[in-house]
A and B are shown apart, each in its own frame.
Chain A
């Protein structure tokens, strides 16, 4: 008992005296104890959306794996920038987790999110939703007809999407950059308005996730004509991909978990394996299938995800500067 108190006192004293060098010594102890108190999940999005649903689905599963309670707090302000900032300023002990989507990196590229990738460490990517170009099939039955129309009418084709720093906008910019088409983008406040305008014939198409338009495909109101992927999707073998058109565009909307960058590696590793266990569970896979997020592998470990985010940031910054 005395010994433990002494250790805690010594390590906290050491921390204050010598700063981060002692953190590594204290951390192995911290990792063994982790988690020592309830976790706090910060959702970088409003209640009810995809990221919120993801967080609330994972919550009980992770609680079971780690044997700890947790609370969910939505911080939708500034496209979630507040959630990232609060995570970066939190105690670096792995108890504050930031559940975020690709908006983290798109808003960073657009200069709307002051928390850089160096201030956050990704724990894992859990979901990778496929980006597609969606049109009204009565207007454009296939991708060739869309391309032909856009080439013949430069500056007249209008594509809709959600706000100016969204993954949809990045998909639009990278598509325009790669294809060299002269097309325009109009941002709407929410996805529903974008689809209403596509179905109402007011705009030519939109960038969005395949999972959210399944019912429209069945009714024939909307149809994806281009998939941002390396290979054609098993479930939709008729839809051409970006890569087969010679464009290396494969990014969609991704969802993952982040912690403060100062968090000891041992704790990040422990969290990563806990999330991996959740990801591999039947219950989680069932959920992915139910919400149609199973078209491609969602899992990406801490290091690989970090590297991918850096690459995406570079690309998005370049695209926005060109614009």
Chain B
């Protein structure tokens, strides 16, 4: 295996292939940095270009773009609260407050380092454990997915802010998620006879509206006096910070890999779960959402690790772990390759070259992100009266391009207004996203589990992984209720 990796490395280090990788990283940087242009869209656009290429070069190009877009979504998330990709939503929660406090450079540095480390952990896992991890992925079926989604949802309790708002937000997210054709029976729900709502409300219009557009509105209406950003200098290696986020980085990278390998749930979910867990385990959960470095490190390490993890079932089993990997799977078929359990044997040269390429991409991210961000932050010198409309324009084009739907654009603008209003009452927007992302997983997996067991609820407790996850969720819920109560008793006891 190590030999295969070295020979893969030798292929990648050929000048032509290095050139392809470098350009792929830059294309990925630009695409990821523009709100709405996600890895999926870039891979689709470049797919026809690769038909004429040698398969090894073609897949190095596609996977490198895939890896680098996941990274670069953080730039606009941190600078303008306009996540460049869905994977970077969680990064905005603490990244943007840091920018507002004049610490944009520090925030970006943490993001870059966390991404590269998460990506490297993911790549190493991909290289060493692919066959092993693939069999873990097969152990996960509906009851396990349901339990995982429940674990994610329980974090609402520890998200800070007013608990009642968190619960309302999560419920609102669940409600939005239930719009569309019911995936199991085909019944239309809340579609009001509109075809546009039949597919449900997309994640992109909601995210882009709630976060990016509402922020532009807020700043344009001048409700918040904003200090103009000074020159942003990105510092990637900062020892005190690194010491502070070390544990978060390792936990989030591992969590990212594990969630990434599960078919059907991708890097966005990984970022969300890992952010939630970091809040939960933190000694200072109240700092999150106000510019905590861990709040950037957790989602960025996790989403990059998960992006690599999602390639595990693709290479080992021919099962895509996420949306973008599904398109890469299609690309393999178009090139006449046959992904599946035999793929590692029949195309090992190609696969190890792709692995080696991804390995190098993570170093390229460390190397190239600084000049790229420097170039990008020049935009900050543009007065906001010009930059604001440009951001909104990017949001419109990006949202439209996902499904070629004008309806989604109106929806996105509507969520912009909603986000603007909700922020006025300090409503935690993250809880809405939590419900929206985890809701569909929880709902359909619950129903699939019950279909598997013919309505018997014990299926969740007789399967070891699902039982463990549900037990953890219960304990955490109980803890969330008891800990504040005990604090109150103690204060009472001390005063009397």
Contacts and interface: CB of A to CB of B under 8 A. Distances in A.
Nearest to B447: A186
B241 interface: no
Contact of B334 (A53, A213, A214): A53
Contacts of A291: 333-334, 336
Given A48-B330, A53-B330, A190-B326, A215 B186 contact: no
A38 interface: no
A290 interface: yes
A38 B403 CA distance: 22
Contacts of B7: none
A186 B452 contact: yes
A27 interface: no
Contacts of B444: 189
A215 B331 CA distance: 16
A81 B327 CA distance: 21
A290 B195 CA distance: 35
Contacts of A193: 263-264, 319
A78 B181 contact: yes
B318 interface: yes
A47 B327 contact: yes
B164 interface: no
Interface string A7-31: 0000000000000000000000000
A118 B199 CA distance: 24
Interface string A53-76: 100110000000000000001111
B448 interface: yes
A78 B183 CA distance: 11
Contact of A78 (B184, B198, B319, B334): B198
Interface in A226-244: none
Contacts of B318: 192, 195, 215-216
Interface in A100-154: 110, 112, 114
Interface string B306-338: 000000010001111000001101110110101
A58 to B, nearest CB: 12
Contacts, number: 143
A192 B47 contact: no
A187 interface: yes
A199 interface: yes
Given A192-B319, A202-B452, A215-B343, A81 B195 contact: yes
A264 to B, nearest CB: 28
Contacts of A321: none
Given A48-B44, A193-B263, A213-B340, A199 B317 contact: yes
A115 to B, nearest CB: 9
Nearest to A320: B186
B177 to A, nearest CB: 13
Contacts of A197: 141-142
B405 interface: yes
B320 A200 contact: no
Interface size class, chain B? 35 or more
A82 B336 contact: no
A164 B181 CA distance: 10
Contacts of A164: 181-186
Contacts of B186: 110, 112, 163-165
Given A82-B196, A114-B195, A189-B444, A221 B404 contact: no
A158 B41 CA distance: 35
A190 B448 CA distance: 14
A219 B451 contact: no
Interface in A144-175: 155-156, 158, 163-165
Nearest to A114: B195
Given A75-B404, A202-B452, A195 B319 contact: yes
B40 interface: yes
A221 B138 CA distance: 12
B48 interface: yes
A32 interface: no
Nearest to B202: A77
B139 interface: yes
> Quick one: which of B184, B185, B448 has the most chain A CB within 10 A?
B448
B225 interface: no
Contact of A192 (B181, B183, B320): B320
> Quick one: which of B41, B43, B48, B195 has the most chain A CB within 10 A?
B195
A56 B313 contact: no
Interface string B2-27: 00000000000000000000000000
Contacts of B138: 196, 199-200
A203 interface: yes
A14 to B, nearest CB: 33
Contact of A155 (B40, B183, B188, B454): B454
Contacts of A202: 141-142, 452
A196 B343 CA distance: 16
> Quick one: which of A53, A75, A188, A215 has the most chain B CB within 10 A?
A215
A52 B41 CA distance: 13
B137 A215 contact: no
A189 B183 contact: yes
A250 interface: no
Contacts of A52: 330
Contacts of B188: 112
A312 interface: no
Interface string B131-166: 000000111111000000000000000000000000
Contacts of B139: 200
Interface string B173-216: 00000000111111010000001101100000000000000000
B102 interface: no
A61 B290 CA distance: 56
Contacts of B41: 47
Contacts of B43: 48
A85 interface: yes
A53 B342 CA distance: 23
Given A193-B264, A196-B138, A187 B184 contact: yes
A248 interface: no
A57 B51 CA distance: 10
Given A78-B196, A291-B336, 6 more contacts: A78-B198, A79-B181, A82-B405, A158-B452, A188-B448, A213-B340
The 10 closest A-B pairs by CB, nearest first: A215-B340, A48-B327, A78-B198, A164-B186, A219-B341, A200-B138, A192-B319, A47-B44, A202-B141, A48-B330
13 contacts: A48-B44, A48-B47, A48-B331, A78-B195, A78-B198, A158-B451, A163-B186, A214-B340, A215-B318, A215-B340, A215-B342, A218-B340, A219-B342
Interface of B: 40-41, 43-44, 47-48, 137-142, 181-186, 188, 195-196, 198-199, 263-264, 313, 317-320, 326-327, 329-331, 333-334, 336, 338-343, 403-405, 444, 448, 451-452, 454
